[in-house]
Homo-oligomer: A and B are copies of this chain.
C-alpha cells in the first residue's frame, strides 16, 4: 500500500483569482510580508498494487488535472 500525493496547480501564466483574493485580504489582517499566493488542489491517494508513481501519474493526467491549464506533481510518501 503506497500513499501518493498529487498536487495540481494552475500553470504560472494562467490567472489565479482565488490566490489573488487571498493575497488581497492578507494586508488587512496584518500579513504584509506575503507577496504572492497561488491556490491549487491537493490529493492523497492510497494505491494498493503496481508502480504507485506511474499509476498516480496516469490518474492525475486523466482525471485530477486539466493539462491545458494545469501542471501536476506526484510524490510517493510511503510504501
Contacts and interface: CB of A to CB of B under 8 A. Distances in A.
Interface of A: 1, 7-9, 19, 22, 25-26, 29, 31, 33-50, 55, 58-59, 62-64
Nearest to A2: B33
Given A26-B59, A34-B55, 11 more contacts: A1-B35, A31-B55, A33-B48, A33-B49, A34-B46, A34-B59, A37-B44, A39-B41, A40-B41, A40-B44, A42-B42
A44 B20 CA distance: 12
Contact of A31 (B33, B40, B42, B59): B59
B25 A50 contact: no
Contacts of A43: 19, 22, 37-40
